[in-house]
Structure 1
Amino acid sequence: MRREDETGSKRPALVIFDCDGVLVDSEPLSLGTLTAALNRIGVAIDVETVRSRFAGTSMTSIMEHIAHDYPGIAVPDDFVAAVKTETLGVFDRELRAMAGVAAAVQALDIPTCVASSSDPVRLRHSLTLTGLLPLFDGRLYSSAMVRHGKPAPDLFLHAAAEMGAEPRDCLVIEDSVPGVIAACAAGMRVLGFTGGGHWGHDRAGRDLAEAGAGHVFQDYRQLDELLDGLLGRY
């Protein structure tokens, strides 16, 4: 039976984790790789702009934006595949799990899963490299499995259905504005996480709070306390 806090608010029946920037500190690596690749084909953009515009979204969505905003740029047919390959190579050398996340997940007495904008290969590769895969194996959901990626609610609704949970009973942990918007659109509670390297500009996560995150945190040692108490503010 789920516990309730002092306000009568029930703890969630399912915790849905984003992956990049939430479970693994991948965003500085992937955003840097993408920025360099875009620069090579003539897109004049810096890594901070890439972060603010594209963090938390799929490559399909990113390329749609590039085609719309930079109509004169000729994107090579193998561009996306090349970026993915280069990113995985950087991950092999440098990717790390978020500090404290493994212990925090292991301590949960609530079912968990992952719902990520990453394609299935990258998602599984990231979790394998960081030793987190055994915590979620068999419960990985990618934007490739749904018609519309974040900020649409499709992925979170798909994950909840697969896990047998009602959306209103789910809690999402997200690090991006599109992810927070998607969780809210799905009718789920959401916590913003700013412990990743790409959030050094604003650990308070003001953008996440404005998008609908009920609380923002940056240290996984806070997670159980949040589940027990702060959810009552929703």
Structure 2
Amino acid sequence: MTDAPAFPATPPLALVIFDCDGVLIDSEPISLATLTRGLNEIGLAIDLEAVRARFAGTSMTSIMERVAREDGIEAPAGFVERVKAQTLDAFAAELKAMAGIAEALGLLHLPFCVASSSDPVRLRHSLGLTGLLPLFQGHVFSSAQVARGKPFPDLFLFAAERMGTAPEQCLVIEDSVPGVEAARAAGMRVVGFTGGGHWGHDRSGRDLRAAGAATVFSAHAELGRIVAESGLPRSAASPI
């Protein structure tokens, strides 16, 4: 038995905000592998699991700032653009939508949008490749549109404002610790998703729970129930 949502339902939910990479599309195994190779090439000795733990859910700008600050390695000219281009090429060959997400979106009875750390070009490219872009009807927001990316709340607050919804009426679906932290900082309800290929065999999402996710799920067939139960008062919510 897992835990019930740790938030009240006043006011009721009015918007579901989805992260993109690792939630809507199974992109993280591809993008993290490309990033790992790139970082190795510029002298950072790091493996795929360490890259996932340190950088999943954050923008390339934030990643390279951390590498410079924490590892003392400055990216050479053109590095970020090269990694982005290599990632898009790999997406064209391998990228798939997360299993069941299109069907789950079609059954949602609330407005929904995307708020992602990906840059706008990659974001629209990846959603277009997987056939999901039309489902969002232009409600696609990138960290490039705000001053600070995740784990700061700026992106989620921006998305809520553009969608005309108060933060306390939003539910965020996230697969990364920075994303969960950003949602909590924005005053939003948040649940973790662990259905992406980068999670491997352990889909418990312990780090997401520790960061503040009310519960964790790993299949989009559960999305409708998760959203419905996230809108209940804690005392009325059945265990998720």
**TM-score (normalised: structure 2):** 0.91
Contact 2:64/2:74 (CA < 8 Å) preserved in 1?
A: no
Give the partner amino acid of 1:70.
Answer: D
In the alignment, which residue of structure 2 is the partner of 1:25? 26
Deviations 1:8-65 (A, max 9, x none): 8365100000000000000000000000011111110111000000000000000001
Does 1:192 pair with 2:186?
A: no
Q: Counterpart of 2:76 in 1: which secondary structure?
A: coil
Give the partner amino acid of 2:135.
Answer: L
Give the partner amino acid of 1:218.
Answer: S
Question: Which protein, 1 or 2, shows the higher relative CO under an 8 Å CA cutoff with sep ≥ 6?
Answer: 2
Q: Counterpart of 1:141 in 2: which secondary structure?
A: strand
Deviations 1:102-149 (A, max 9, x none): 000111110000000000000000000000001113101000000000
Deviations 1:165-210 (A, max 9, x none): 0000000000000000000000000010000011115201010011
In the alignment, which residue of structure 2 is the partner of 1:52? 53
Give the C-alpha shift of residue 229 in structure 1: 2.4
Q: Give, in whole Å, the separation in 2 of the partners of 1:43 and 1:161.
A: 39
In the alignment, which residue of structure 2 is the partner of 1:89? 89
Q: Give, in whole Å, the separation in 2 of the partners of 1:228 and 1:157.
A: 22
Q: Identity across aligned pairs (percent)?
A: 64
In the alignment, which residue of structure 2 is the partner of 1:120? 120
In the alignment, which residue of structure 2 is the partner of 1:3? none
Q: Counterpart of 1:24 in 2: which secondary structure?
A: coil
Q: Counterpart of 1:229 in 2: which secondary structure?
A: helix
In the alignment, which residue of structure 1 is the partner of 2:17? 16
Contact 1:11/1:228 (CA < 8 Å) preserved in 2?
A: no
Give the C-alpha shift of residue 74 in structure 1: 4.7
In the alignment, which residue of structure 1 is the partner of 2:136? 136
Contact 1:11/1:227 (CA < 8 Å) preserved in 2?
A: no
Does 1:62 pair with 2:70?
A: no
Give the partner amino acid of 1:91.
Answer: F
Q: Give, in whole Å, the separation in 1 of the partners of 2:130 and 2:15.
A: 23
Query: Any gaps of 5 or more consecutive residues in structure 2?
Result: 1-6
Q: Give, in whole Å, the separation in 1 of the partners of 2:27 and 2:17.
A: 18
**TM-score (normalised: structure 1):** 0.94
Q: Give, in whole Å, the separation in 2 of the partners of 1:75 and 1:170.
A: 37
Task: Give the total of aligned pairs.
Answer: 227
